[in-house]
Amino acid sequence: MKKAIFPGSFDPITLGHFDIIKRGVKLFDELIIAIGINADKKYMFSLDERKKFIEDCFKDEPKIKVVTYKGLTVHFCEKNNVDFILRGLRNPADFEFEKAIAHTNRDLAPIETVFLLTSANTSYISSSIVRDVIRNDGDYTKLVPKTVSVK
């Protein structure tokens, strides 16, 4: 069974994340969307809200599981028998950053990182851009799945 993890903070999940997940789930028997917990980070959405956005988004996809975790992604992988990390790449800067992390992860554990290029129509979207649009009362709904809502 090929299991992969798609880790991130998902604050909030974007259409870019959604695209990578929908395409990535076809490659694996199980795809775990893992929301990392970083006590030093200030989030716009609570952990429960972020998890619910994602669960609601993929409620009809039995191959997707949504979890939260603390610590190193490779430790999560080892504890959960996950052999692959799925990552999306938007641009060359993402590639350089993700390449360094992938090499480090492979040094720490026998984990392979699989990269998917984002679709052209979502390559400009990031969670930080979405948060900025929300903070400034813009129409964020064009950038996120329908399950994401601001109260």
Which of 22, 23, 52, 90 is the catalytic position?
90
Q: Is 131 annotated as a binding residue?
A: no
Q: Is 149 annotated as a binding residue?
A: no
Indicate if 17 belongs to the active site: yes
Indicate if 103 belongs to the active site: no
Q: Is 73 annotated as a binding residue?
A: yes
What residue type is assigned to position 37 of the chain?
I
Q: Is 118 annotated as a binding residue?
A: no
Which of 41, 42, 146, 151 is the catalytic position?
41
Output the DSSP codes for the chain: --EEEEEE--TT--HHHHHHHHHHTTT-SEEEEEEE--TTSPPSS-HHHHHHHHHHHTTT-TTEEEEEE-S-HHHHHHHTT--EEEEEE-SHHHHHHHHHHHHHHHHHSS-EEEEEEPPGGGTT--HHHHHHHHHTT--GGGTS-TT----
Indicate if 90 belongs to the active site: yes
Q: Is 3 annotated as a binding residue?
A: no
Q: Is 128 annotated as a binding residue?
A: yes
Q: Is 88 annotated as a binding residue?
A: yes
Q: Is 78 annotated as a binding residue?
A: no
What residues form the annotated binding site for ATP? 9-10, 17, 88-90, 98, 122-128
What residues form the annotated binding site for substrate? 9, 41, 73, 87
What residues form the annotated binding site? 9-10, 17, 41, 73, 87-90, 98, 122-128
Catalytic positions: 17, 41, 90, 127
